[in-house]
């Protein structure tokens, strides 16, 4: 999908700039033509010579009036996509407000191609309301965000703000071009024709050692039914499916198999920027073993203490980075204070629709062929559905999504 694509990689000053060597190598390996521009501060983290050697093109750091290849207008018109990575807090702020004091920003303001950006910064900078406002402004401009990841940061702290890994960025670009390909395709019909939907379903498994894992009771039935109902409505569906014996043969659904919560996070983050409708129906583990043994843990005389750490909150990540035109749906499986907890999730995770699933209702929840749910949307509408097949519930959820799309 990247063969012959012209990618303009714009690197700003961040420690994550060192990863651009790997990204450049991967893009070239995929057949892309890569040209690179850097801010002066970016050159303190990785040399232009390194990137020029890997990209097989001159790396430019200053505005030039003597060579049309380095002219910011020509660069902005040359590219099929402009990728700002890493995008520092400073560069994001300048992009959001139209500053133009270096080659990267001048080229950005001249770009006629789609623009994507991959932020990189420390957690407190990432969560600052000014940074979030600037990111929202770039989303309002129609640019695509590669969400930050959670991990070890340059400050030595552990948290959100880590730039997406090079492999994730490559997958994102592949999906970008797959969505925007001009190859003729058979026209689909239905109220969601031309839309791309992303659905997660099933459980995740979190390894303890090569033999054992922790998981949950989800079968994936509800999520698969939703994926098929979205496809029936005309959408092109990507189904991120955890380990389950169930599958779908629907022609309109492409399955992306995953195992762990980390796998599901990476797959959803890579796919979600291209999606118009996102339904997160998977039962993702909230915790995973902090340390995974490389050999089977032998049974001892006493008990065993298993230390757990939090997994990525996929729904919150997508909600924090949701574009205005996207519809995001989450599930709230509850055993007590059901309505209160569902509305809290709707509000705190920036959802358009939340599906309340109570385990207190007979015939609802895991492994049943039926379900009983209540829908809450961001306009204050509440819809209680009777106990019915999961396929019927899926159609009701899709009807609610269609209503939100046309609101």
- pLDDT tens figures, 111-162: 989 999 999 999 999 999 999 999 999 998 989 999 888 888 888 888 889 9
Pairing of strands 33-38, 6-11: parallel
CB 398 within 8 A of CB 226: yes
The C-alpha atoms of residue 251 and residue 227 are separated, in whole angstroms, by: 11
Q: Is the peptide bond before 178 cis (omega within 30 degrees of 0)?
A: no
CA 319 vs CA 110, 177, 242, 336, 345: distances in Å: 30, 24, 21, 24, 11
Secondary structure of the chain: what % helix, strand, coil (to 5)? Answer: 35, 25, 40
Active site residues: 216
Taking only the tens of pLDDT, the chain with its 407 residues reads: 798 999 999 999 999 999 999 999 999 999 999 999 999 999 999 999 999 999 999 999 987 644 544 467 778 888 999 999 999 999 999 999 999 999 999 999 989 899 999 999 999 999 999 999 999 999 989 899 998 888 888 888 888 899 999 999 998 898 888 766 544 444 456 899 999 999 999 999 999 999 999 999 899 999 999 999 999 999 999 999 999 988 888 889 999 999 999 999 999 998 888 899 999 999 999 999 999 998 999 888 778 889 999 999 999 999 998 988 999 999 998 888 899 999 999 999 999 999 998 777 776 666 678 899 999 999 999 999 988 889 999 999 999 999 997 66
Please, what is the angle between helix 89-97 and helix 103-110, to 10°? 40
Structure tokens at 258: 């995953």
Name 231's Cβ contacts closer than 8 Å, sequence gap at least 6. Answer: 197, 237, 250, 251, 252, 253
pLDDT for 184:
40
Return the closest-CA partner of residue 345 out of 384, 302, 299, 378.
378
Taking the alpha carbons at both ends of the chain, their separation in whole angstroms is: 35
298 is in an annotated binding site: no
Q: Residue ranges of the alpha helices (H) in 114-196?
A: 123-127, 129-140, 166-179
DSSP assigned state of 203: B
Which pTM was predicted?
0.58
- The architecture that CATH gives domain 6-179 is 3-Layer(aba) Sandwich (3.40)
Q: Are 258 and 242 in contact (CB under 8 A)?
A: yes
Beta strands in 63-136 (DSSP E): 81-87, 115-119
Measured distance CA(398)–CA(385) in Å, rounded = 13
Instruction: Look up residue 200 and give its two tokens.
Output: 């997660």
CB-based contacts of 249, cutoff 8 Å, min separation 6? none
CATH T-level assignment (fold) for domain 196-293+304-405: Rossmann fold (3.40.50)
CA distance 189 to 191: 7
Assess contact for 185 and 179: CB atoms under 8 A. Answer: no
Q: Quote the CA–CA distance of 110 and 63 in Å, as a whole number.
A: 13
Torsion angles phi and psi, residue 132, rounded to 5: -65, -35
Beta bridge partners of 35: 8
Letter string b/e over residues 290-311, b meaning 16 or more CB atoms within 10 A of that residue's CB: eeeeeeeeeeeeeeeeeeeeeb
Three-state secondary structure call for residue 26: helix
336 contacts 357 by C-beta, under 8 angstroms: no
331 is annotated as contributing to ligand binding: yes
377 is in an annotated binding site: no
For residue 277, give both structure tokens. 């409708």
Does the annotation list 345 as a binding residue?
Answer: yes
Domain pair 6-179 / 196-293+304-405, same fold: yes
Cα separation, 393 vs 388, in Å, equals 7
Parse the chain into domains and list their residue ranges. Answer: 6-179, 196-293+304-405
């Amino acid at each position: 999908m990247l063969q012959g694509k012209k990618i303009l990689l714009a690197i700003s000053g961040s420690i994550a700039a060192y990863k651009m060597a790997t990204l450049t190598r991967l893009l070239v390996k995929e057949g892309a033509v890569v040209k690179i521009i850097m801010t002066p501060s970016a050159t303190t983290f990785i040399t232009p010579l390194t990137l020029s050697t890997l990209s097989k093109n001159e790396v430019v750091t200053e505005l030039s009036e003597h060579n049309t290849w380095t002219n910011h207008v020509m660069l902005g018109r040359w590219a099929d996509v402009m990728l700002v990575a890493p995008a520092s807090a400073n560069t994001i702020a300048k992009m959001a407000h139209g500053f133009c004091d270096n080659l990267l920003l001048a080229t950005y303001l001249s770009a006629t191609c789609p623009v994507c950006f991959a932020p990189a910064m420390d957690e407190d900078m990432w969560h600052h309301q000014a940074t979030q406002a600037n990111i929202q402004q770039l989303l309002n401009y129609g640019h695509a965000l590669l969400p930050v990841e959670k991990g070890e940061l340059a400050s030595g702290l552990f948290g959100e703000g880590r730039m997406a890994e090079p492999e994730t960025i490559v997958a994102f670009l592949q999906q970008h071009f797959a969505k925007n390909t001009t190859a003729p395709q058979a026209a689909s019909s239905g109220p969601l024709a031309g839309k791309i939907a992303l659905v997660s379903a099933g459980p995740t498994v979190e390894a303890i050692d090569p033999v054992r894992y922790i998981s949950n009771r989800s079968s994936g039935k509800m999520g698969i039914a939703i994926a098929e109902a979205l496809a029936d409505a005309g959408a092109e569906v990507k189904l991120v499916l955890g380990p389950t014996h169930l599958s779908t043969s629907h022609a309109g659904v492409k399955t992306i198999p995953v195992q762990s919560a980390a796998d599901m996070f990476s797959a959803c983050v890579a796919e979600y920027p291209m999606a118009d409708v996102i339904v997160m129906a998977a039962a993702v583990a909230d915790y995973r073993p902090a340390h995974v043994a490389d050999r089977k843990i032998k049974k001892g005389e006493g008990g065993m203490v298993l230390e757990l750490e939090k997994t990525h909150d996929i729904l919150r990540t997508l909600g924090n980075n949701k574009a205005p035109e996207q519809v995001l749906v989450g599930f709230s499986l509850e055993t007590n204070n059901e309505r209160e907890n569902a509305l809290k999730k709707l509000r705190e995770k920036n959802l358009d629709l939340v599906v309340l699933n109570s385990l207190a209702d007979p015939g609802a929840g895991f492994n049943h062929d039926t379900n009983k749910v209540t829908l809450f949307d961001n306009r204050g509408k509440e819809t209680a559905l009777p106990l019915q097949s999961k396929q019927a519930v899926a159609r009701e959820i899709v009807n609610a999504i269609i209503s939100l799309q046309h609101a």
